[in-house]
Amino acid sequence: MTYMWSRKINIGNQSFFLLGPRGVGKSTLLSLQLKEAKTYSLLKQSSYLKFLSHPDSFAQEVLVLPKFSWIVVDEIQKVPALLDVIHDIMNEKGEKHFRFAITGSSARKLKRANVNLLAGRVLNRKLFPLIREELHFSGKEIDDILSFGMLPAARNLSGHDRVNFLESYVATYLEQEIQQEALSKKLDSFVRFLKVAAIMNAQVVNVSSIARDSGVARTSVQGYFDVLIDTLIGSWLPAWQAKARVKEVQHPKFYFFDTGVVRTIASTLREPIDSLERGFLLETYLFHELQANKEYLNIGGEFSYWRSDKRELDFVWKRGNRTVGIEVKSTKQWKTEYSSVAKDLLEDGVLKKCYGVYLGDKELLDGKLRILPIDLFLEKLSAGEILD
């Protein structure tokens, strides 16, 4: 049975970019919420070839549409020249005459195509894989979420079908986003790098170590990470620059956007999750929820992590003078030592408040540290009660 989830994102009534990795549901969302829109999918060979060779023909078709029509342009990075055409239409007819919903799964070509020419006229929005509020799962299902991720198609499948989908998804990414767009001239080197990066997911990035383990030149590794960022497959989590009592580590962490995808790349998808992997996957999933809810609730602020020597706090959110810390543990019992870093940072006044998140079922309090089961934490996160 195929489910259609109600997505939390509010698309509004103004032209917008909707960016997100392949498979997160951009096209489905727009087909459901903009049912009367004129839609152009650049994944269709006929549309792609027509507008690639004659981008001005797009304007000829759009200009005959009724005033206030919605026009959906799906996967704009396939023909970035259409951005110039849309810009010209807005100049000619005004910004509100037509409303454009423009989707993309790669920012790489858009960066070279002067996407900024639409700045101020078109809002920027992001769509992520499903979040708990949309899927309505319980904490008892967390291992399934960590194993297979939150892509809508993955949640609609089970057993071997779900495994086959994720393996096909990764293969399609390598073929369509990397090879066809010539983002990496040496695909074999990129594939070796990608697997090592997946194995090191949610850990502090050591470029020299990744270069050595993947057999790729150190100078190429940073470029390959840029490819992952530009194709929306992952994101950096920088080290927090705060004036605490000790000096913080400066190297960032890198997180893939979905736990099922990163396990597929790391070749662990068909294996049970071990205890070490569970910790990194839970962090990856929590980071996904934090990023998505920050976007959907329009909260703003920036995420980072804090670390000194062997002491670490998984996430810090900062906006203005507001700082919220989050410590994540993939255990069903919260031990007192888990609270030490958070309590020290709270005591120093570095953090305004801090939460512990774990896989148990009881809400706890350790000094000023509030410890929540993952279900309750995510419920409060989506309600805007965590990042405030």
Domains of the chain: 16-126 (3.40.50.300), 130-388 (no CATH)
Around Cβ 310, how many Cβ atoms within 10 Å? 5
Question: What's the confidence (pLDDT) of residue 216?
Answer: 93
Given a cut of 80, whether residue 242 has pLDDT beyond it is no
Name which residue leads in pLDDT, 245 or 71.
71
**What pLDDT band is residue 335 in, cutting at 50, 70 and 90?**
very high
Q: What residue type is 54 in one-letter code?
A: H
Is residue 234 within 8 Å of 228, Cβ to Cβ?
yes
- Which residues have a Cβ under 8 Å from the Cβ of 162 and sit 6 or more positions away? 148, 154
**What pLDDT band is residue 117 in, cutting at 50, 70 and 90?**
low
Is residue 55 within 8 Å of 81, Cβ to Cβ?
yes
Instruction: Name residue, tokens 């809810």.
Output: 293
Which segments of 200-339 does DSSP mark as H helices, in order?
207-214, 218-230, 259-265, 275-296
Given a cut of 70, whether residue 251 has pLDDT beyond it is yes
Mean pLDDT, all residues of the chain: 91
**What pLDDT band is residue 107 in, cutting at 50, 70 and 90?**
confident
Q: Write down the pTM of the prediction.
A: 0.93
DSSP strand pairing (253-256 vs 302-308): unpaired
Given a cut of 90, whether residue 173 has pLDDT beyond it is no
Q: What residue type is 241 in one-letter code?
A: Q
Question: What's the confidence (pLDDT) of residue 184?
Answer: 67
How far the first Cα of the chain sits from its last, in Å, is 38
Give the separation between CA 146 and CA 152, rounded to whole angstroms: 14
Is residue 97 within 8 Å of 68, Cβ to Cβ?
yes
Question: What's the confidence (pLDDT) of residue 181?
Answer: 64
pLDDT digits (tens, 9 = 90+) for 298-318: 999 999 999 887 789 999 999
